[in-house]
Copies of this chain bind each other. A is one copy, B any other.
């Protein structure tokens, strides 16, 4: 099983929308699901469900139902994150998702967050009860080499950090832009 130090994993992770034609090993999927399961949540309510989708027809259909998620169609696997009467569904769900994304990256797998879809059809396709909320669908697969080499574009640290109060500059820090 591949391994990577935590900060290196955070630094190197890239959004991945093109996947190699290889299946996701069972051990890697286990790590992804465990990373979600072990996440923190409001009052430890763990208000999540993870639907693992490997059926090629379902993946293709999901890609077609997600305007920003066409790449689901080309992924060997996706995990739908469903929130179950959560008090802070987006915060709890996104923290679990980020754990899963990093565990996946350590195992060599990439993904890209899906933010919109045909709500009625997708919930019906996945059998999600009406009173539960679909947070996202994360497609997972091994990235193409080209994707991984892409430069990460971010604001410099000085533009987003403050000391004690908003707009007071934080001294002694500089990062690569």
Which residues in A have some Cβ–Cβ distance to B below 8 Å? 3-7, 9-11, 13, 15, 26, 29-31, 33-40, 42, 44, 46, 48-55, 58, 82, 88, 90-95, 97-99, 101-103, 105-106, 113, 115, 126-129, 132, 152-155, 157, 160-168, 170, 172-173, 175
Contacts and interface: CB of A to CB of B under 8 A. Distances in A.
A54 B165 CA distance: 11
Task: Report the copy number of this chain in the oligomer.
Answer: 2
Contact of A5 (B15, B106, B128, B132): B106
B106 A6 contact: yes
A165 B127 contact: yes
Given A10-B35, A164-B54, A44 B106 contact: no
> Among the interface residues A36, A97, A102, which one has the most CB atoms of the partner chain B within 10 A?
A102
